[in-house]
Amino acid sequence: MASPFFEYLREFMLSRRYAKRTIDTYLYWIRFFILFHDKRHPNQLGDTEVEQFLSYLSNQRHVAVKTQATALNSLSFLYRHIIQRPLSQDLHFNKSHTPQKLPVVLTRAEVQALLALVDLRYKLLAQLLYGSGLRLMEAIRLRVQDIDFDYLSVLIWQGKGNKNRRVTLAGELVPALHGQIHLVEQYYQQDKETADYAGVWLPHSLARKYPSAPGQLGWHYLFPSHQLSIDPESRLLRRHHLDETTLRRAIKCAARNAKIRKNVTCHTLRHSFATHLLEAGVDIRTVQEQLGHSDVKTTQIYTHVLKQGGNAVKSPLSLLLAGNFSQE
């Protein structure tokens, strides 16, 4: 049976339109914090205990900088909105300094081999991840009307950091996308015949502004779930988007079958998109815009991949074995 305290937390966040992922994340870190302090109620804890917990994450768990920041955000929410005793702005704890990892990048041949072996049900999604540099959830959450066939582009709404952007679309994907939209239309016609069908889910502000939009084809997900389900918040019958874990598994399986010995994830295709654009001579500012990075410094990580690759710096061993050295 769920704790009444955590049920209250969940209901509080749902009533304030927090995203489901945010709710799950905050609950995870709040639960972890309580367990760390021997199940004491947060009302009995404060700044000192939060500092101890955050230091523990850095010292013993060796979490990344972003992970520690997420834990702090979760506890800040807890003490500001639930306990109503905001944390100090001057907390002292050992901050994580995990070095930034270099992205895993596939060669063009590896991308080709992987895409050839992806389950056909997820191939178009995988091609969009690589061909347009999309994040996993950006691709999964695409709506039918987000594909601009006239300008060969994809519209990304409220991506990471709530940013909107327009990215390139490979013309070779147009026939497959038309086929996918036809599939959505079939689901759409079928769902309209279902008595309790309430249309597709929309963010709350859009649902208020466009009350008829949930019933329009253009707003429906481009990659829909294979079955209808009950919206946990509104309790209405809807067709949600495809479960992202199925795509993750498909990419892992394809990489394994292609015998790629790198740690391949969906995000690897986005890394490869950026690196291959830079290799082709595309300006870094253009790549930054395509990826939706706020700061070009974030995009520069891909130039490090290029500089540290085998084509940028000639190993002295290569010169030695080729006989290109002089006697001193």
Active site residues: 135, 160, 267, 270, 293, 302
Residue with tokens 């347009």: 132
* Pure H helices in 99-201: 108-117, 123-132, 136-140, 174-192
The rounded distance, in Å, linking the Cα atoms of 179 and 9 is: 43
Strand partners, 241: 224
Nearest to residue 243, comparing CAs of 258, 233, 229?
229
Tell me which long-range contacts 177-185 makes (C-beta under 8 A, separation of at least 24). Answer: 177/124, 177/147, 177/149, 177/222, 180/124, 180/222, 180/223, 181/144, 181/147, 181/222, 184/144, 184/217, 184/220, 184/221, 184/222, 184/224, 185/217
The contacts found for 181-190 with CB under 8 angstroms, 24 or more apart, are: 181/144, 181/147, 181/222, 184/144, 184/217, 184/220, 184/221, 184/222, 184/224, 185/217, 187/220, 187/224, 187/239, 188/217, 188/220
CA–CA distance, 16 with 18 (Å, rounded to integer)? 6
Confirm if 93 and 58 have CB atoms less than 8 A apart. Answer: yes
**If phi over 0 gives left and psi between -120 and 50 gives alpha, with beta otherwise, what is residue 263?**
beta
Q: Are 200 and 236 in contact (CB under 8 A)?
A: no
**Do the beta carbons of residue 65 and residue 95 sit within 8 Å?**
yes
Reading the block at residue 203, the tokens are 């963010």
Helix (H) or strand (E) holding 291: helix 284-291
